[in-house]
Amino acid sequence: MSAMTDTGHADAHHGPAKGLMRWVLTTNHKDIGSMYLWFSFFMFLAGGFMAMVIRAELFEPGMQIVEPEFYNQMLTMHGLIMVFGAVMPAFTGLANWMIPMMVGAPDMALPRMNNWSFWILPFAFALMMSTLFMEGGGPNFGWTAYAPLSTDYGPKSTTFFIFAIHMMGISSIMGAINIIATILNLRAPGMTLMKMPLFVWTWLITAYLLIAVMPVLAGAVTMMLMDIHFGTSFFNAGGGGDPVLYQHVFWFFGHPEVYIMILPAFGIVSAIIPAFARKPLFGYTSMVYATASIAFLSFIVWAHHMFTVGIPVTGELFFMYATMLIAVPTGVKVFNWITTMFRGAMTFETPMLFSLAFVVLFTLGGFSGLMLAIAPADFQYHDTYFVVAHFHYVLVSGAVFAIIAGVYYWLPKWTGHMYDETLAKTHFWLSFIGMNLTFFPMHFLGLAGMPRRIPDYALQFTDFNMIASAGGFLFGTTQLLFLFVVIKCVICGKKAAAKPWEGADGLEWSVPSPAPYHTFSTPPDVK
């Protein structure tokens, strides 16, 4: 191959620029990936702190620590920060770091736009979090921002919440466009679509989902803005609109959004389990088709979030059965992960531990999702802690565990050092115990009828809430240990080989550790 990469700067081949401006002006996918990951970690801590406020208030019945109004703001901000600030940017960060290396590309397809996608985020979150200090407080209607809570009864700062959402949407759409262009156009010769690592495949489909639904969210909050300031009646029945319309538009975005937060996790786990089972992934092709099926189904299930809102019975039936269908491709995936491990030569380093926990606990969250999908049963579960337990099992032990697994898996490649395995395993076990202590009792609370999003509760819920709060504090504090392990790994540690994991497979392991600032300026030949 005679291919070479031009760079606009004579010394760009040698390495990064010096100082702070390196990070502000960079066009390098590794720099941008690192910024995404650090940003998402700080957002994770900020959102986690708000979760601690919530758990502290719920430790005992009665109001003791915060005002109900502030509790609502914490609840809303916690959701928004975790979804848009922690989980999504973490996946985008991993995509930035890994996709060009996995497909043998010199960088992302549109490097300057890549930098813009990132730098919008700090401004967007500065704007969103500043609402907490505005007159009337920040958004207090839950991350779903249902009308009329957000339109007629929202605080003045709702306007800025809407614009912050717009900014995050712009960032996500540009990030997704970049990822699609990179995957479709910058693959090394020989890297056919069906040879791509599953992380690349899942991100390709995730990016498609992002471009399809982020504009719909933009449309929803734009109508909200119009209702608040310009006298329209989209979500007001007095003018012929319908508050339920907001829910339809929001969940048309919202359901694909939850798959946006889990498909890349599937990709990470599909890289790690084969590596530590020392066997190729079982059923690669079926994994690809299952991912595509899940993405398709995500567009036709949204009203299962709204079973109790008063939609026609035909609608309830359609959305119930469509939702249950998702269990089929998801089942294919779980089956494939387990079959990959079957008779494998397994070892249990930290990435594998988090991946195994992912498979078990995500499946548990999937099963509670199936329970919620049953429309007549959902009338009982709706807006109880059972729902909170369900989505924290798929988001914390699902998305977050997979992200952490991916970070441990690729840290040697990023830093050139091995992380401290003992500390990392401690991090895993404390996280695993803390997570289950926090969220498992919530199933029982929900089934017993404890409503979500309420700062006070009846006395009989006390024991389980105390356990959940204790677990929450354990899980939250443990993440500081994660920060420590990562920083330690960046600074020092045993030198990592180019391929530190015996069973690992993929182009990213063919370059030295730490990966040079520019990789694959000449595309590798993929057999």
Partner 1 sequence: MAGESSYYVPAQSKWPIIASIGLFLTVVGAGIMMNDMSAGVKDSTGHWVLFAGGLIMAYMLFGWFGNVIQESRSGLYSEQMDRSFRWGMFWFIFSEVMFFAAFFGTLFYVRHFSVPWIGGEGAGEMTHMLLWPEFISHWPLMKNPDNTSFQGASGVIDPFHLPLLNTLLLVASSVTATIAHHALKNNERTKVKLWLVATLILGFAFLFFQAEEYIEAYDNLGLTLASGIYGSTFFILTGFHGAHVTLGAIMLTIMLVRVMKGHFTPEKHFAYEAASWYWHFVDVVWIGLFVFVYLV
Burial pattern 454-491, b for ≥16 Cβ within 10 A else e, equals ebebeeebeebbebbbebbbbbbebbeebeebbebbbe
Tokens standing for 58? 């719920």
State in angstroms the smallest separation of the CB of 404 from partner 1. Answer: 28
Binding segment for partner 1 (CB under 8 A), chosen from 142-150, 164-172, 198-206, 278-286, is 164-172
Least distance between partner 1 and beta carbon 258 (Å)? 18
Write down the catalytic residue from 30, 55, 78, 279: 78
CA separation for the pair 436, 358 (Å, rounded): 12
Is there binding between residue 211 and partner 1 (CB under 8 A)? Answer: yes
Q: Is 33 in the site for partner 1 (CB under 8 A)?
A: no
Minimum CB separation from partner 1 for residue 190, in Å? 9
Which residues in 223-242 contact partner 1 (CB under 8 A)?
223, 225-226, 228-234, 236-242
Q: Which of 54, 220, 395, 489 binds partner 1 (CB under 8 A)?
A: 220
Does 515 bind partner 1 (CB under 8 A)? Our answer is no
DSSP characters over 498-520: SS-STT--SGGGGS-SSPPSS--
Whether 420 is catalytic is no
| Alpha helices (runs of H) in 302-398, residue ranges in sequence order | 313-325, 327-341, 350-373, 375-381, 385-394
Residue 235 contacts residue 151 (beta carbons within 8 Å): yes
- Identity of the residue numbered 127: L
Please say if 382 is a catalytic residue.
Answer: no
Kindly identify the residues of this chain, within the stretch 291-310, that bind partner 1 according to CB under 8 A. 310
Does 4 contact partner 1 by CB under 8 A? yes
Give whichever of 188 and 489 is closer to partner 1, judged by the CB atom: 188
Query: Between 158 and 363, whose beta carbon lies closer to partner 1?
Result: 158
SS3 159: helix
Among 47, 48, 79, 111, binds partner 1 (CB under 8 A): 111
Among 15, 62, 68, 189, binds partner 1 (CB under 8 A): 189
Asked if 475 touches partner 1 (CB under 8 A), the answer is no
Catalytic-role residue among 150, 330, 397, 469: 330
SS3 457: coil
- Catalytically annotated residue among 40, 270, 350, 363: 270
Tell me the CA distances in angstroms from 391 to 139, 373, 527, one per residue in order.
Answer: 21, 13, 41
Structure tokens at 475: 């899980």
**Selection from 405, 362, 411, 418 nearest residue 272 by Cα:** 405
In single-letter form, the type of residue at position 285 comes to T
First to last CA, the chain: 14
Q: 14: which DSSP letter?
A: T
Kindly name the residue from 259, 337, 410, 457 that is annotated as catalytic: 259
If one asks whether residue 316 binds partner 1 (CB under 8 A), the answer comes out as: no
127 touching partner 1, by CB under 8 A: yes
DSSP designation for 497? P
Marked catalytic residue, from 29, 166, 279, 305:
305
Measured from the CB atom, is 244 or 346 closer to partner 1? 244
Which one of 117-125, 349-357, 440-448, 502-510 is the stretch in contact with partner 1 (CB under 8 A)?
117-125
88 near partner 1 (CB under 8 A): no
Which residues are annotated as catalytic? 78, 107, 143, 171-172, 255, 257, 259, 270, 304-305, 330, 333, 452
